[in-house]
Amino acid sequence: MIQVWTTPNCVQCRQTKRVLDKSNVAYDSFDLTQHPEELENFKSLGLTSAPIVVSGETRFSGFRLDKLKRLIERVQHEKS
């Protein structure tokens, strides 16, 4: 499962979710402002900009189309 950790009014967050939606990939979205303990945990891992995308051992922050595409390919491959 993919988790997308976002902040309010975040353009990069919306772009990330739009790419996942267009690819028909399921994800759960969480608001970092509602989970300050997670925000601190992510910061300690060096993940400092929204969105933060987590799937298994894969973790990255910001709108990273290259990493997002690889993640989508992996998820779609696992489905088939």
List the domain boundaries for the chain.
Answer: 2-79
pLDDT at 26: 96
Q: Collapsing DSSP states into helix, strand and coil, what is residue 46?
A: coil
Q: Centre a 10 Å sphere on the Cβ of residue 4 and count the other Cβ atoms it contains.
A: 19
CB 4 within 8 A of CB 27: yes
- pLDDT tens digit sequence for 39-57: 999 999 999 999 999 999 9
Task: Please give the single-letter amino acid code of residue 59.
Answer: R
Average pLDDT of the chain is 96
pTM summary value: 0.94
Would you say domain 2-79 falls under CATH 3.60.9.10?
A: no
Block residue for tokens 């925000």: 39
pLDDT tens sequence across 17-30: 999 999 999 999 99
Residue 79 has pLDDT above 90, yes or no: no
